[in-house]
Structures are given as C-alpha cells and as structure tokens.
Structure 1
C-alpha cells in the first residue's frame, strides 16, 4: 500500500489558539496510541470551504480524522452531541472552535437546525466534516452502510467541493460500540482522501429526495472504493441498509 508524501500545511491561520489547545490536549495521547499514514492528502483543498465525508465505524473516528486534518493544516468542524457542550471546559472549547451542537433525540427548538449551522460554516470558507452514514455503520464487517443526504445537500447548496475519505485501523484502538481503549501495542491508522465527487450532473436541479439519494449513493460508492483500497478487500455488492434487517440507526447495536 503506497502513500503520498505528507503535504506541508499551507493554511496556518486556521490553527487558532483554541485548536492549538485542543491539539495540546489530544495529540500526545493519540500519537501514543497510533501512528498515522495519510494517503493522497493533496486532494484536500489547501484553502476555501469544502465538505469532508469519511466512513464511520468507531467512536474515536472524529478524533482520528481531526488528527489527519491537523497534519494537513485544515481545521475541521463537526456536528457533536449537544450534551457535550454542557461539560465544563470541553463545552467552551467546542463552542470556541466552531463545532455544531446537535440534539440527537429530536430536532428541538434548543438545538435548531444543525445543517443550517453547517452551511453557515461552509459559507465562511471553512472545512466541515459530515459523516454521511449518520452513526456507526451497522454493516457486520464494518463496510459503509446506507448514507444520508446531509453531506451532498451541503456541498450542492453551498457550491463547494465534496471530498470523500476513508480510514481504517481506528477499530483496533476503540472497537465498535466499545468503551475500552486498547493502548498496546501501538496501532497504525490509514486515512485516504479521494478526489472531489463529481456532482455536476446534480447542479441546478431541484434537490428532491430522488436527486439527493442518487448523489448520496455516488458519494457512498466513492468512500467504499477508498476503503477497499485501504483494506485490500472487496466490499459487498449490495449497500447495507439497517431498515432491511430490522435495525435502528440510533443507539448501540451489535451483530449477533
């Protein structure tokens, strides 16, 4: 498996004091747990807004992707559980770094519309990370499952690049649904960044459910192909849909 040389950070201004504090708190531990191999980092825009859409198979994924983005020089904004914003210090850091609070249970008035906040961040020329699966994949072998349309809708409405990404190795640090981190031996996490998804065929069209579903499937195919390269395996031909297996996409679930 080849990897491209790491690209020097060219947008240093994004590494604000708050992000440097977060890096100070997280990077030493994450470096102890794993080394990171970035592949095709040149596909990540050096400046300007874009949506990054990775696969999701471990609760530590956002931190892993955050480490990768830090190394590239772009600071990510995520949608995070609203409850985290009430935690002393952590909530302050999340707010000051521009993360988006989301009420998971319902679209309460307090939570507002998270996608509206994401679009506002994109309009500011920043990087937004949107996991199209919405939750940890239910696919038994951790291949990407059915996607939701938030990522493609944001990219199309804002007119910005949609970058697919895939990571592999985070499950060795924190297995799916587990709360126990594996410290030794040190792991290796690979992150591959794809070329922007070509959404030109959808531009200017009414973004109804059919159009968004087609665009989302195109994104999920790109993510899956990147993951196939990292794993050296072939994904199932049929995209996994939890509804077909009587599974909820909310909460913990383990294949038995």
Structure 2
C-alpha cells in the first residue's frame, strides 16, 4: 500500500509539474542502481553536500513512482507557501528537542509502515568535511530502521554542489552541469534487529550506513575517501545549523 492521499498525490503532481522541467533544463542527470529501490516501505539515506540535495534525490525517487517524504526542519513548516506545500505533501517536521525528535520518528514510522519512502540524511546537516566527504552520522536513520524492520537504502550523489555550492547565494548554471546519483543495495542490519536499542547497537548500525554511503560517493568521485570520517565535535564545530565559511573550509566542492 502506498502511503498517500488524494491531496498528497495532487500536491506531488503539481510540484513535479513545476520542478521536473526546471531540473531537466538546468541539469544533466545520470541515475544508476535503481533496481535497488525496494517495492515496499524503505528508508533512503543519502549524503548531504548542498541545500538543493533534497530536490536532486526527490526528483530521482519521484521518477521511480516513489514520492519522497523528508524529515524537514520544523521552522520551514511555518513559512506560508512553503509550509502549505510541505504539509500537503506529508513531509515530516523535525524539532530540535528530544520529544520533538521522537514524534518525528513516530510519523516517519507511519510512512514506512504504510509502504512509503522516507528520506533521512544520516549526517543530520550539510557535511562539515572540507572536501565534502560524508561525515560522522547521527542515529536517527538507524533507530527508525531497527524499530520498523524497514530496509535502509544508501544513496550517493555528486555534482549538485557545482550548481549550488554549500552555503552559496546563487546558482552556477553555465556550463551545464551533470548530477550523478548511485543507489546502493540495502545495508545489512539483520544481526542487529533483535538487539536492544542501546547506544552501541545504534552506533554500529549508523556506522554501517555511513560506510555504505561513503563507498557510493567514492565510486562516483573516483577517489579514495579519508581513512577517518570527519567528526564535527572533534574539530570544535556545531553539529546542526549553518556553518560559517571560515569554519567550513572550501565550499566550492573542489578537492
């Protein structure tokens, strides 16, 4: 069963009629690994390099007839036009409190249980890594996967940061860029599903997800990832919200 209502379907059709032609006009695209997208409910776990990532990943999933549901900052739901679109398309608001986070995961579980796709960025925010590699992950995607039994599908993408660099103020449209998306096989978490949701279990599951995502990004980039994943806390950086450019290092996606 697809997690949708007539209002939600109508909203997605409208948004797609506006966004898909724009995306097709502005960007070349290469999508691989689409056979790894499950038929039932699943959790998509992409890397996060720029603010337009949700449009890139959402475009790919929608074209596979899997309307995307994102965990989005609750503040976005209070913006008049944007908020109405988010509510109508059944996106999931996230509050930066323990109670709010638990409620968000509950709503996300309802989406997955009903056969929908929920997109959770395991990094929690744009990567802090100066070279835009996936950084240390948060446990939300792992927790939801272990609670629901839903598969976690890692997604790597590369190229969107050339169009809209991290924290940029304008688009860079010329020459025309290509965005590549690679969908991986579901992450193997079977041996963890019957274990208590302890910090150790969640950390192990999260690390497996990040390893899978990083491998996809490395394949797309044709490069070896860092031996150690970037940890914002170890570098004195905040783990949520915008990072100023001086702290972020390079923001143009070059290595």
Q: Give the alignment's TM-score, normalised by structure 1.
A: 0.89
| Structure 2 CA distance for aligned equivalents of residues 81 and 197 of structure 1 | 26
Q: How many residues were matched structurally?
A: 242
| Structure 1 CA distance for aligned equivalents of residues 82 and 205 of structure 2 | 35
| Structure 1 CA distance for aligned equivalents of residues 156 and 146 of structure 2 | 21
SS of 1:38's partner is strand
| Structure 2 CA distance for aligned equivalents of residues 51 and 81 of structure 1 | 18
Match of 2:47 in 1: 55
| Structure 1 CA distance for aligned equivalents of residues 87 and 171 of structure 2 | 26
User: Deviation per CA, 1:46-73, whole angstroms, max 9, x where unpaired?
Assistant: x210000000010000011011112222
CA drift of 1:90 comes to 2.5
Q: What's the C-alpha RMSD, in Å, of the aligned pairs?
A: 1.8
CA drift of 1:153 comes to 1.1
Q: Which runs of 5+ in 2 are unaligned?
A: 250-255
Flag the 1:112–1:150 CA change in 2: closer, same or farther, 3 A.
Answer: closer
The reply to whether residue 68 of structure 1 matches residue 99 of structure 2 is: no
User: Deviation per CA, 1:80-108, whole angstroms, max 9, x where unpaired?
Assistant: 1222222333222211211011234x457
| Structure 2 CA distance for aligned equivalents of residues 223 and 112 of structure 1 | 24
Match of 2:130 in 1: 140
User: Deviation per CA, 1:176-219, whole angstroms, max 9, x where unpaired?
Assistant: 11121112222100000000101011011001001110111011
CA drift of 1:112 comes to 6.8
| Structure 2 CA distance for aligned equivalents of residues 177 and 90 of structure 1 | 20
Question: Could you tell me which of 168, 187, 198 is aligned with 1:178?
Answer: 168
Match of 2:252 in 1: none
Q: Which runs of 5+ in 1 are unaligned?
A: 1-10
The reply to whether residue 187 of structure 1 matches residue 164 of structure 2 is: no
The reply to whether residue 211 of structure 1 matches residue 201 of structure 2 is: yes
Match of 1:114 in 2: 104
Match of 1:36 in 2: 29
Match of 1:6 in 2: none
| Structure 2 CA distance for aligned equivalents of residues 74 and 181 of structure 1 | 27
SS of 2:30's partner is strand
Q: Which has the higher helix share?
A: 2
Question: Could you tell me which of 12, 16, 20 is aligned with 1:23?
Answer: 16
